[in-house]
Amino acid sequence: MIIREATEGDIPSIVALLKISLGESLMPKSEAYWRWKHQDNPFGASLVMLSCEGDTLVGLRAFMRWQWKADGQLLDAVRPVDTATHPQYQRRGIFSKLTQAALEQSRQRGYHFVYNTPNKSSKPGYLKMGWSEAGKLPIDLRAVRPVSMACNVLSLRRTTPVAGNDHSLAGYLEHPGLEALLKQQDRFHPAQIVTAHTPRSLAWRYRDVPVARYFACGVTRGNTLDALVFYRIKPSKAGNEFRITDVFLSDQADTKQVRRAIAEKVALHRADYVTISGVHARGMVQGLLTGRGMKIGPTVVVRDLGGDTTARLHDFQAWAPSVGDLELF
């Protein structure tokens, strides 16, 4: 059995293995989706390791690139996101071998750390391989329509998202003040580790993503962009969730104006409640405070790749990932 790095010519075989191993789940199994996720990523092409038996692809492990920054320093990281083993080759240690090979390649390339959000079933395996638990991302939840939420829960009905005719996302991504706003985030998040977003990475993440629809709202002054908020509407047992995934504020941002802009969108989409990362941006949302810093976000595990960042990654006051950074897509 040979373990090697994938090439572009392997993509058809990779997609075929994903279909055989995982079936057609919520995430599409197509060459277009794979290219968007693993080749078009502005942070860099994914590190993809393959296991082959002769001419047959029997296993794959993909580490998606992501770039963070803190105190002016860029931190290159990878996130294990896609794995598959051919049904006829399971229980042969292929997953572990591919993971170790990907880790070694990551070290050789000078990446700083690896992180991901495993489920309860996969987390013990990561801890056994040297990952450590950073904790659950804290989430603030504010109820907007508490009576509707209670009725939804009691009736166990599934709500239908109200998208509305909102096409503002493209306009904000093309706003002439976007780049200047992003450059101010170092001052807005002093000494915190945050994603090193650019206009290109935001367009890839929120406009071009093929598996979910995102929206945006903001506060502008002519060619100046003072605030930008990305969000999505997600149905749940409690009703329509207004999930704020990223918030960018300038030094001149008026919190009241930002709150009004968000409230207008909440009303437009008839959302029942709003969620936002508790460490990312507080005071941005109106409504009945149901929970602050609730441990309902994804569980995050991390592993150092030879740097000195791991200790800071265990403190969500120092490491400030947004919900949009950690969503699976």
* 302-314: average pLDDT: 83
R_g of the chain computed on alpha carbons:
21
What pairs with residue 62 in β-bridges? 48, 82
Looking at this protein, which amino acid is placed at residue 171? G
Spatial strand order in the sheet of 215-221: 215-221, 224-236, 239-249, 273-277, 139-143, 288-294
CA atoms within 13 A of residue 283's CA, in its CB half-sphere: 6
Pairing between β-strand 273-277 and β-strand 56-70 as defined by DSSP bridges:
unpaired
Equal CATH topology for 2-111 and 139-299+316-323: yes
Could you confirm whether domain 2-111 is CATH 3.40.50.300?
Answer: no
Tell me the per-residue pLDDT of 25-76, one tens digit each, with 9 for 90 and over: 667 789 999 999 999 999 999 999 999 999 899 999 999 999 999 887 899 9
| Contact yes or no for 275/244 (Cβ under 8 A) | yes
Report pTM: 0.92
- To 5 degrees, how large is the angle CA 92–CA 134–CA 212? 75
Architecture of domain 139-299+316-323: 3-Layer(aba) Sandwich (3.40)
For the chain, which residues make up each domain, given as ranges? 2-111, 139-299+316-323
Tell me the per-residue pLDDT of 257-304, one tens digit each, with 9 for 90 and over: 999 999 999 999 999 999 998 766 667 776 666 777 777 789 999 999
Tell me the per-residue pLDDT of 222-267, one tens digit each, with 9 for 90 and over: 899 999 999 999 999 999 999 999 999 988 888 899 999 999 999 9
